[in-house]
Structure 1
Amino acid sequence: YRGPVQIRFALGNSINIPAVKMTALVGIKNMLRTAYEAGLKSLEPTDENLKRFGLSITLGGGEVRLLDLTSGYATLANRGKYFEPAAILKVEDKNGKVLEEVKDRRAKQVIDEDITFLISHILSDNNARSLVFGPSSLLNIPGKTVVVKTGTTDDKRDNWAVGYTPSVVVGIWVGNNDNSAMDQKVASGVTGATPIWNRVMSEILKNKGAENFTKPDNVIALEIDALGGGLPCRDYPKRSEYFIKGTEPTRDCLVEKTLDGKEYFVFVEFDPVSTDGKNRWQEGIDAWSQSQSDPKYKPPSELKNEPTKNPDEITVNIKKPSDHDQVDYTFETEVEVSTGRKVTKIEFYIDGSIRDTKTSDASYKFNFTFAEANKGKHKIKAKAYNEAGRDAEREITVSVGQPWTD
């Protein structure tokens, strides 16, 4: 357990606990569905697989074929588009006549392009992985922008290195054919598969020009607090990070708190998989905090407002107008949505009929105009949906064009 780690460095350094927590937050079924659609066909979210797999699936707890795993990374390289692998693209006779040729390779968009850009940027960032792999590992191809990820299974039976550029993907597996444990000298993706991967990829790219991953327009760069991940906080260190527009932080000093003139770092988490009311995520954080010599990591209890709300939950509030307000014939409705997940859609209703829909906005404002003949009381409703499949709504009644009367 390494304490607080931001996503870029957790993924870049292959740190296990953040990966397990992310799977718990996303849900095993959703994780399997995405993996399956991206090319890992042994991870189909069937009832049998859902019974068989737990959170360890994110650490390699499921059997996959090298071709399937490499296809999954090819989906990332193709900006979220999955192509079914084709081993033979064209067959010619001795005279060069084309006998068979694969021409129409249909692609399916299975992961949003903005998400694949963030993953590619993180996994090609040498600084992001230097804590574990060092600054000069064989994960680097000098002069090239290359995404790469390593992995090792239990008992050192398999290790992997898979990497890609926008035009090529290379997957390497090292292990014994009888599934026995390997010699400890080649027991990790770094010492076993990575040297092979480096030589293959270097040979492929040696005569290729520089290739970079194109940033989508809805991905923005933002200066953030290097510790807490929010907006910059006072004189604490800062760094730059990419965000999908609408998901960027909006508050500063997320973990830096002050009480009686003293500075503290406060980290709290909700445990979404607890079945007995115990917050084991927080217990782990507290144990780590108590092991630190810096008193800033030991905040007083009044600063630790341990979250008790499931991040999957969603609530809707109509900020304006208020219930029973008098409004003009043309008025604006402002809606606030609270959830720990991405908001996928919000609908605006007048008297039970949907009038407008918005997606991917940080704030939600709706304008509507009534005809003068329709003055009087009307119902306004906002309904929001999040990526966890939850929804919530809020309805109020206003008086249009005349004072409210009971």
Structure 2
Amino acid sequence: MSRLPTRSRTAAATGAATRGLGSTLVLALGTFAVGTDATAMAGFLPSVASTLRVSQAAAGQVTAVFAISYAVFAPVLATVTARIPRRALLVGSLLLLTLADTAAALAPSYAALMAARVVAAAGAATFTPAAGAVAAELVPPAQRGRAFAVVIGGLTVATALGVPLGNLADRLMDWRAAVGLVALLAALCAAGVFAVMPALPGQPRVPLRRRLQALRHPGVVAVLPLTVLALTAGYGLYAYAIPVMHTLGADADAEMWLLALYGTGAVLGNLISGTAVDRYGPIRVLAAAFTGIAVAMAAAAFVAGVGVRWLPLTGLLMVAWGAGGWSMTSAQQVRLMSAVPQEASVAIGLNSSALYLGIALGTGLGGLLLHASVPVALAACSALAVLGLGYLALTRHHR
């Protein structure tokens, strides 16, 4: 049997790796749909409150219910759906999201809307961990950081566009039509995944008890709290970005482009960190991410506290906020998979649960602290990031 020359084998391996990394782009379409579903609602909550005759605080709980439901559903649904072929699972979860958003658009009452958001969380909680696990299968281990960055890139782009687009859609049409457009987006992404995604078999079913036993693994115990801390510190106040920006000197005309700057920072932070994880390892990337969050939020607290009102500075702070808050996800995924490589999908599912738990906690904490003042809320987020740095230092040897 003839063998390829070393240079030919290397070129073939490089080509296969590039094709695998390119295949993850279609998964990013799906996470974009999921992220848009999760964030766009914040852009038209006042209209939801007015239409359904509830307070804005009650309408805001729609976001919290989605996040909490996601955190609960992710490990359970990963167990129930383990044997389903991956393409069918990914497409089915996006179609479930489509149906849930259609129901939300037609919801006659607040209770019906909440129920639809719980179903939407089930679709999202099924898709995102599965997409991450599939991305890991499509590329060599040395490229996992970049593969995760591509998949999570869909979420960060949705973060960049979701709230501004939701706000714009609310101005041009009613909120029901806007939610209907999100349902259409999820359906289109399902079609794209079906058309492009290679057929991959399901996985052996892992009992839920065994999945939850992963929480007892020292490496998992060391890593998951960092996800919660990072999202609580870096993303928790995003639901209240508009009052934060107003305190920093922005007016209504500046809201859209400042939110876009936040999203730009999030996309750049995610992409750069994905490459950096492969080159420098997750610990250094996480240290840089938590430092970035701490500095950005402390600077914003100082600017808000002393009353500086200069839009270029506000724009810079929004970019830094987005970059710091979204530059840790790929590193956390790689770290968890290194801790329990034999249960990669379990690790990714648990990390997704921790991510949305952090969003829920941060949103709740932000709502409470904003009653004191915006500078206090920003300073608290900076303190949480410093706490994350300390925890990382204590647990950095867990691989």
TM-score bucket (shorter structure): under 0.3
- Whose strand proportion is higher, 1 or 2? 1
Larger-Rg structure = 1
- Whose helix proportion is higher, 1 or 2? 2
TM-score, length-scaled by structure 1: 0.25
TM-score, length-scaled by structure 2: 0.25
